[in-house]
Amino acid sequence: MKEFAERRQAISVAIVPVGALEEHGSHLPLGLDSFHAWELAKAAGDLIPCFVAPLVFYGLCRSTSDHPGTISVSGQTLQMLLQDIGMELHRQGVRGVCFVTGHAGGTHGARMVEAGEHLLAHTSLEVAVVSVMDLLQEAGTFLQCAADSHAGEMETSLALALWPEMVKGTAPEAYPDFPGPILTREKLKHWPSGVWGNPTLASADKGHRLLAAEARQLAAIVEQLTQRIEEKEKLFFNPS
């Protein structure tokens, strides 16, 4: 308690890592998105002063909902949980929140944004909502599969680097064939492998480089939030 009370005088931003429990092909662990978000948040925290909140392990999984092992929460549950966490961080004196998700599902991300907008409307917090897919600018120089998204080159590389004991070989390159804007009840039929990309291009070296590049970009976002908070407080205390 004492350490937190002392540190919040100098540290204004908390990173809240958010993951998911869903299939990742036949070769990667179900919790990979959560493991990724947690390791990324810690790595960014090593680069810039901030709080790293405990991991939110569950998320909203739509496209993988029929695959064995996927355990999803509703969008309403996810949004309300993140709103409550943000409100409590604000009550405890944190002035900025950066939600970072290792799960890049569109409906999942939209609910995170809604939670962030609620916090903007009802608190004085500065808020960022970041997906790992937003942090690939540097990694684009060494990743090879342009269409990679799920259980492919990127995530298999991360797993080989950070959790090699959980990797069960590899899987063939594959992509879903969902029918465009038409929603389907037969999700497994359109994405039987659960792979979106090319796992055969993965390596542990790419995984280490990817996490480091993501951490640098996440730390830069935390720095931007910190600067916004400092500028706002400067105006408040020195209006002239």
CA distance 35 to 146: 23
Residue 30 has pLDDT above 80, yes or no: yes
pLDDT value for 80: 98
Phi, psi (rounded to 5 degrees) for 19: -125, -150
| Gap between the Cα atoms of 129 and 15, Å rounded | 10
CA atoms within 13 A on the CB side of 156: 27
Q: How far apart (Å, rounded) are the C-alpha atoms in residues 3 and 218?
A: 24
pLDDT digits (tens, 9 = 90+) for 4-25: 999 988 999 999 999 999 999 9
What are the beta bridge partners of residue 98?
15, 128
Q: What kind of fold does domain 2-237 have according to CATH?
A: Rossmann fold (3.40.50)
Q: How far is CA 15 from CA 45, 95, 105, 196, 229, in A?
A: 8, 11, 19, 28, 15
**Residue 225 to residue 13: CA distance in whole angstroms:** 7
User: Is the pLDDT assigned to residue 238 strictly greater than 80?
Assistant: no
Element (H, E) at 104: none
**What is the predicted pLDDT for the residue at 237?**
62
Hey, where are the domains in the chain?
Answer: 2-237
pLDDT for 1 beyond 80: no
pLDDT tens by residue, 172-210:
999 999 999 999 999 999 999 999 999 999 999 999 999
Picking from 159, 32, 205, 194, the residue whose alpha carbon sits closest to that of residue 102 is 32
234 pLDDT more than 90: no
- Which letter, b or e, does each residue of 159-171 get, where b requires 16 or more Cβ atoms within 10 Å of its Cβ? bbbbbeebbeebb
Q: Which two tokens stand for residue 137?
A: 């600018």
Q: What is the DSSP string of 177-228?
A: ---TTS--S-HHHH-SS--BB-GGG--HHHHHHHHHHHHHHHHHHHHHHHHH
Q: Tell me: pLDDT of 240 over 80.
A: no
